[in-house]
């Protein structure tokens, strides 16, 4: 099938458009570029390729829509990902969490390098006396090294701590991403006052 000839780069864009189109509202260049992690000029160049190769069309509102060929390629990619996941979990016996992390490392190394938080929901369904042991066992089996949050969306237990930690993390990231301010060494003493 012709749709299977898409390159990995094209597939990444098609998957983003597919997700937006079928799961999350309109696909426009800015959203796709943000999802894929590229600049506006790179997105514009790739969009031209996608149109030329018959994978997408763009309407008057600049909304990107998958053509039949694009939809087939995106669905083929989704099927391949799903088959990979099933093979990893059912045949090789890896658990879902490890399979997802493995897929992430393969398909988006930059995102893989970002810190991961383990958020365990529905803990109100586990007896409080058993909960800590079950969480420790899960963390041990998953070999998770980052923060662990135990929450219940139903009872809101643990949600405040998660939200506050997320806020602190985002604020710290924003500070870390700020460009360094150059201070002329001749005036460094004046900058402190």
Sorted by where each begins, the domain ranges of the chain are 2-77, 115-177
The more confidently predicted of residues 193 and 65 is 65
Confidence of residue 59 (pLDDT cuts 50, 70, 90): very high
Task: Decide if 146 contacts 162 (C-beta within 8 A).
Answer: no
* Nearest by Cα to 41 from 53, 25, 29: 29
What is the pLDDT averaged over residues 19-33?
Answer: 83
For residue 101, what are the contacts with CB-CB under 8 A and spacing of at least 6?
A: 112, 116
Average pLDDT, the chain: 82
Supply 98's token pair.
């490890």
| Cα→Cα distances 150→30, 40, 166, 169, Å | 35, 39, 14, 17
Q: What is the pLDDT at residue 193? A: 52
CATH architecture assignment, domain 2-77: Orthogonal Bundle (1.10)
Percent of the chain with pLDDT over 90: 24
> Which backbone phi and psi does 162 adopt, to 5 degrees?
-65, -45
Q: What is the pLDDT at residue 50? A: 95
Encode burial over 20-57: b for 16+ CB neighbours within 10 A, e otherwise.
bbeeeeebbbebbbebbebeeeebeebbeebeebebbe
Is the pLDDT at 77 greater than 50, yes or no? yes
pLDDT 10s digits, 116-156? 888 888 777 778 788 888 888 888 877 788 899 998 877 78
């Amino acid at each position: 099938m012709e749709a299977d000839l898409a390159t990995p780069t094209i597939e990444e864009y098609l998957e983003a458009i597919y997700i937006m189109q079928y799961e999350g509202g309109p696909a426009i260049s800015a959203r796709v570029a943000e999802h894929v992690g590229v600049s506006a000029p790179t997105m514009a160049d790739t969009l031209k390729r996608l149109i030329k190769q018959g994978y997408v069309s763009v309407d008057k509102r600049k909304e990107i829509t998958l053509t039949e060929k694009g939809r087939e390629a995106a669905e083929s990619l989704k099927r391949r990902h799903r088959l990979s996941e099933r093979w990893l979990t059912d045949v090789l016996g890896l658990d879902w969490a490890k399979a997802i992390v493995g897929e992430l490392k393969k398909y988006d190394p930059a995102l893989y390098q970002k810190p991961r938080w383990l958020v365990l929901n529905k803990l109100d369904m586990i007896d409080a006396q058993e909960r800590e042991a079950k969480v420790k066992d899960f963390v041990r089996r998953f070999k998770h090294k980052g923060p662990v949050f135990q929450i219940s969306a139903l009872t809101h237990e643990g949600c405040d701590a998660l939200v506050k930690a997320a806020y602190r993390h985002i604020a710290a990231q924003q500070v870390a991403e700020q460009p360094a301010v150059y201070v002329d060494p001749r005036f460094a003493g004046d900058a402190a006052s």
